[in-house]
Structure 1
Amino acid sequence: MPWSMKDYPASLKNLEKPVRKKAIDIANAMIDEGYEEGRAIPIATSKAKEWAENASTDEIDDFLTHDDETERDADPSSGSGSGPELMNKAEHVIKHKKGWAVKAEGAKRVSEIKDTKKEAIERAKEIAAHKGTEVIVHLADGSVQRKIKTGS
């Protein structure tokens, strides 16, 4: 059964919100890969706790920016919205309420948020160069400002 922040196993009840959310995302992915629920829950819980111990404050804050939404809450019929299918997609630099964000084309979530547009463009260039794609820079109103070609 796919879980969400509104419907999850009782064993996750006492976890802090970011750890619970991460555990739900991990457990759902494990179930999709064929793990049994009884094995997925403790493994996901352990991995989520490990993630929380090693994650930066910014990473946890960004993770929580999506409120109580897990991947399943957003769209139960789709996959995670990131991963191999986004490897050939352009990186977009878009205005965000906390600054400027880098987001892969077609992704549900931004990958990073930077204070300045310049920082976001530089990070998008790094990601796009690694993937062999381009960067599409947007104005604050959402319209395309320019495209930047990168090499692989």
Structure 2
Amino acid sequence: MPWDKNDYPSSLKNLNSAVRNKAIDIANAMLDEGYDENRAIPIATSQAKEWYDNASQKEINEMKDVDDKELKEREDKQYDNRPELLDRGEHVVAHDDGWAVQAKGAKKPDQVFDNKDEAIDRAKEIAENKGTKAVIHKKNGDVQNEHNYENSNK
């Protein structure tokens, strides 16, 4: 689950705002890379504290003033951390909790939906933005159909 300035793990509540915002930013990136929340939180906290110790006052002030919109924009840049996923199609696959949208080769799904149609809509949206394909799978894993957006953004 992505975090923001109003919704974050309780272990971050006693950090100063710059360190907390940086930890949220790092933890969200780690979740995108497939880390488990229980591992991402302490690693992100440690890295944020280290960043704070080495950051300039300007960087610290900028991170203090970062708003939720900026944190969301950083989260939307998840593929910056795994650029190879940017060129890979989005897949809609059966998941224990419904239907998952997941980039080919990603360790974890981007999102999980109760409804397959919602997952398909999200996969198409992501694929169109990335200029890749949305591959829809049946419950048994076979490909049901594909939507190609490979030339729409290039």
TM-score w.r.t. the length of structure 2 is: 0.51
Q: What's the CA shift string for 1:85-124, capped at 9, x where partnerless?
A: 1111000000111110100011111001111111000000
* Counterpart in the other structure of 1:112: 111
Alignment coverage as a number of residue pairs: 102
Residue of structure 1 equivalent to 2:126:
127
TM-score, normalised to structure 1's length? 0.52
Show the 5 A alignment for 1:39-118.
39=54, 83-118=82-117
Q: Whose helix fraction is larger, Structure 1's or Structure 2's?
A: 2
Letter in 1 for 2:120: I
| Offset from partner CA, 1:14-56 (integer Å, 9 cap, x none) | 827958733425756x8xxxx779659xx9xx99xx98xx89x
Matched residue SS, 2:120: helix
3-state DSSP of counterpart to 2:129:
helix
Please, which runs of 5 or more residues in structure 2 have no aligned partner? 1-9, 13-35, 73-78
Secondary structure at the aligned position of 2:135 is classed as strand
Q: Equivalents in 2 of 1:26, 1:113: separation in Å?
A: 27
2:138, 2:44 → 1: CA distance?
A: 32
CA RMSD of aligned residues (A): 3.9
State the identity as a percent. Answer: 38
* Cα 1:26/1:15, change in 2 over 3 Å: closer
SS at match of 1:15: helix
Unaligned runs of at least 5 residues, structure 1: 1-13, 56-79
Cα separation, 2, equivalents of 1:107 and 1:126: 17
Q: Of the candidates 13, 21, 28, which is equivalent to residue 40 of structure 2?
A: 21
